[in-house]
Amino acid sequence: MSDKKKKHISYRPTVLPPEVREGQSVELLKALHILTRDGQLNQDSRRKLKQVYHLYQFIEPLLQELADAAAPCTLADHGAGKSYLGFILYDLFFKQREVGHIFGIETRQELVQRSEELAAHLQFPRMRFLNLSVEASITSTDLPAQIDMVTALHACNTATDDAIRFALHKKARFIVLVPCCQAEVAAVLRQHKNKMLGQTPLSEMWRHAIHTREFGSHLTNVLRCLALEAYGYQVTVTELVGWEHSMKNELIIARYTGQRRGNAQQRLLAILQEFGLEELTPRFLPDMPVAAQGEQEAV
Ligand SMILES: C[S@@+](CC[C@H](N)C(=O)[O-])C[C@H]1O[C@@H](n2cnc3c(N)ncnc32)[C@H](O)[C@@H]1O
């Protein structure tokens, strides 16, 4: 066999690092640069794998709950990028089951194509990648009418809000978000800054440029949580340590219970008003009649 041919064959090393779990694809871990070519971990990749497991520990029980309830286990990952999350979930959870599909939604065609090639190479047949924006995916006929779990990890700017809208439309049981920087609220705060400085001492919270950005980002996530509660989700907010070296590590997990938190919508509207953000109401409460009560309507 020529050396050129040999180079393309990857062997499963006889001794894998103890962090690699039983049945985990060595090929995948190499493709994700978690394992080196000779099947080992270096300091950086050991940390990366630890982060992956940390996130998986939040998602796996939710997937298990779906599987126990015989739900179809369809998952849409928005702003998928290289579909790191989707591949890991497929490898650790979906692969050994006969049902369940993962859809990766991504606007960059070259990443979609690369993920398609990797899924074909790994023989992960129940993964699909769609070159769509999150917004377009809401009405795309390439996706099923119902999706059980929606994830969006560092989906840029308002793509996280579109992912929430997608989840509401698809009646997702679970939503897992790690929001990225969101510039829209900060832009509106900036626009009305002078007026608000004269109106409320609270405007000190965003007077300086860096505070406008940070406060805008914090406020955005607070509004997202209230919106989810207003739509009948129970929300948990926690920290995702060190994912991809990003500073944005807020993890929002929402579970659909159908019980709207009584005052969530009122509080959301009051906060928008307090901070001069009323024009963003449709962003956080898409299509919801202001006095909506009872069961979740289709959005
Ligand atoms: C920071 S990367 C995160 C990738 C991946 N989720 C991760 O955590 O490794 C954000 C990705 O979202 C994609 N993206 C941004 N806006 C989008 C939109 N509106 N619809 C779909 N994809 C989007 C970008 O092309 C990019 O690949």
For residue 8, tell me if it sits in a domain.
no
> What is this structure's pTM?
0.90
State how far the Cα of 176 lies from the Cα of 181, in Å rounded to an integer: 16
For residue 86, tell me if it sits in a domain.
yes
Average pLDDT score over the chain:
89
Using alpha carbons, select from 225, 244, 229, 200 the residue that is nearest to residue 296.
Answer: 229
User: Model confidence at 298, in pLDDT bands (50, 70, 90)?
Assistant: very low
Q: Is 81 in the pocket of ligand 1 (CB under 6 A)?
A: yes
Q: Is 79 in the pocket of ligand 1 (CB under 6 A)?
A: yes
For residue 103, tell me if it sits in a domain.
yes
Q: Is the pLDDT of residue 3 over 50?
A: no
CATH number for the domain harbouring residue 204: 3.40.50.150
Rounded distance from Cα 80 to ligand 1 centre (Å): 5
User: Model confidence at 37, in pLDDT bands (50, 70, 90)?
Assistant: confident
For residue 126, tell me if it sits in a domain.
yes
Q: Is 84 in the pocket of ligand 1 (CB under 6 A)?
A: yes
Rounded distance from Cα 160 to ligand 1 centre (Å): 10
Greater model confidence, 246 or 128: 128
Q: Is the pLDDT of residue 297 over 50?
A: no
The neighbour count for residue 233, using CB atoms within 10 Å, is 29
Ligand 1 atom 20 nearest Cα: 133
- Span of 13-17, 193-197, 215-219 with lowest mean pLDDT: 13-17
Q: Is 249 in the pocket of ligand 1 (CB under 6 A)?
A: no
For residue 211, tell me if it sits in a domain.
yes
Atom of ligand 1 nearest to the CA of 136: 20
Range of the domain at 195: 47-284
Q: Is the pLDDT of residue 6 over 90?
A: no
The whole-number pLDDT of residue 287 equals 73
Rounded distance from Cα 66 to ligand 1 centre (Å): 26
State how far the Cα of 257 lies from the Cα of 265, in Å rounded to an integer: 16
Per-residue pLDDT tens digits for 137-196? 999 999 999 999 999 999 988 999 999 999 999 999 999 999 987 899 999 999 999 999
Q: Give the residue-averaged pLDDT of 241-262.
A: 82
Atom of ligand 1 nearest to the CA of 243: 8
For residue 26, tell me if it sits in a domain.
no
Q: Is 154 in the pocket of ligand 1 (CB under 6 A)?
A: yes
Give the count of alpha carbons within 13 A of 127, CB side only: 31
For residue 39, tell me if it sits in a domain.
no
Above pLDDT 70, what percent of the chain?
A: 89
Q: Give the residue-averaged pLDDT of 13-30.
A: 87
User: Model confidence at 45, in pLDDT bands (50, 70, 90)?
Assistant: confident
The whole-number pLDDT of residue 181 equals 79
How many structural domains are present in the chain?
Answer: 1
The whole-number pLDDT of residue 12 equals 57
Distances (CA, A) of 44 to 51, 85, 97, 154: 11, 18, 31, 21
For residue 290, tell me if it sits in a domain.
no
Per-residue pLDDT tens digits for 51-101? 888 889 999 999 999 999 998 999 999 999 999 899 999 999 999 999 999
User: Model confidence at 131, in pLDDT bands (50, 70, 90)?
Assistant: very high
